[in-house]
Amino acid sequence: MAIDVNDPAVAPTATTDPTSRPAVAAAAEPGAARLRIEGLTKTYVEKDGPVLTGIDLAVAEGELVSLLGPSGCGKSTLLRIVAGFIDPSGGSVAIDGRDVTTVPTHRRNVGIVHQSHALWPHLTVAENVAFGLEMRRVKRDERARRASEMLELVGLGGYERRVPGELSGGQQQRVSLARALVIEPDVLLLDEPLSSLDANLRVYLRDEIRRIQRDLGVTTIFVTHDREEAMAVSDRIVVLDGGRIAQTGSAVDLYRTPVSHFVMSFTGATVEFSGTVADDRGRRVVHSDLGLPCPAPSGLAVGDDVTLCIRPDDFVLGGSAGDEAAVVRGRLVDAAFLGTSAEIRVAIDAADGPTDVLVRLPARQHERLPDVGAPIELTVERDHVHVFATPTAA
């Protein structure tokens, strides 16, 4: 059985091989991934159908990759397979070029932080942090020194002799982070580490995690269902949809060039128009309320329903239609000045009835808005109109 050094259910006296510091991996080829996941699948015996399908992912040394997706899409399962808590049904996991697919957790050099801090209540903060070192037979003096160093790094210098019950939730999560980092993990695994904290603290701590991760250059997988959190901390984001990778890319890639309606709507707000694929002298084009001829996405037939999606910040105030842009005409319903931007609600007449769209403009444009109730025109460039097959209701 795999031992999770961060799991309080595992007593410090558990039957763990103390000589478990993994053998140094064979020197990796230059440019090789620190972590490589190939063809990974997982089916739980108790559950119909696979939870993960065909997961391929390489994480470079020092990179922070987020797994982003709705609850139940398989994020924790993937993380737990990397940690070695559960076995995959197929595929492989390699760390530094060494296949660890069947290697138990305590022989993989991974640090783990869970959603809830899971500290030992009866041990001091320093003892909690040093526990992984004790398992690795590090001498007492060095354990204390390294625990103090890590506590300093996470902003808890001087808290060594406290017990977890004396700390706030955010402080306890910092201790968990120090505990995961003190073993100098090859890979740091964070499973929604901030989700039990309140909103302000979440933002503060996510920036702290990113700073520490960069300082140490530790290769990290960060699981979250919060897109803003993923966008704020990640080098790259893997969007998971029903156990499959929907898209991998930077925050900008996902926001500006999403490959599907799922990715587009999960990575930010959208303004949507419906349309259909039509035939235009042998070419398949999209007809919609936008009145802008768009090529139809590949794989769709004449008559298929499509959804045209636009980011709320891709609208420009004023009408200047051309071959490459569409003008949306409506009435201004509401305008909110938000300091860094202005959010306006516009009622437009679409073929299937009037709809309101929420648009975000640069803050300075607020001064140029018409009165509430007055007509308004907005322009959107064709390149900013994303056309996808309309998702079928699940």
Residues that bind Mg ion (CB under 5 A): 76
Q: Which of residues 60-119 bind ligand ADP (CB under 6 A)?
A: 69, 71-77
Closest approach of ligand ADP to the CB of residue 73, in Å? 4
| Position 281 contacts ligand ADP (CB under 6 A) | no
| Position 47 contacts ligand ADP (CB under 6 A) | yes
| Position 48 contacts ligand ADP (CB under 6 A) | no
Tokens 């060594």 correspond to what residue? 160
| Position 227 contacts ligand ADP (CB under 6 A) | no
Burial of 381 (0-12, 13-18, 19+ CB in 10 A): middle
User: How many alpha carbons fall within 13 Å on the CB side of residue 260?
Assistant: 13
What's the gap between Cα 100 and its chain centre?
24
Closest approach of Mg ion to the CB of residue 87, in Å? 18
Nearer to Mg ion, 76 or 128 (CB): 76
Nearer to ligand ADP, 129 or 221 (CB): 221
Nearer to Mg ion, 83 or 316 (CB): 83
| Position 230 contacts ligand ADP (CB under 6 A) | no
User: How many alpha carbons fall within 13 Å on the CB side of residue 92?
Assistant: 8
Euclidean distance between CA atoms 64 and 237, whole angstroms: 9
Number of residues that bind ligand ADP (CB under 6 A): 12
SS (H, E, C) 14-35: CCCCCCCCCCCCCCCCCCCCCE
Nearer to ligand ADP, 75 or 106 (CB): 75
Nearer to ligand ADP, 70 or 295 (CB): 70
Give all strands of the β-sheet with 90-95 in edge-to-edge order.
52-59, 35-42, 90-95, 98-99
At residue 336, the 3 state secondary structure works out as strand
Residue type, 205: L
Residue 172 binding target from ligand ADP, Mg ion, none, CB below 5 to 8 Å by type: none
| Residues at the contact surface with ligand ADP, assessed by CB under 6 A | 44, 46-47, 51, 69, 71-77
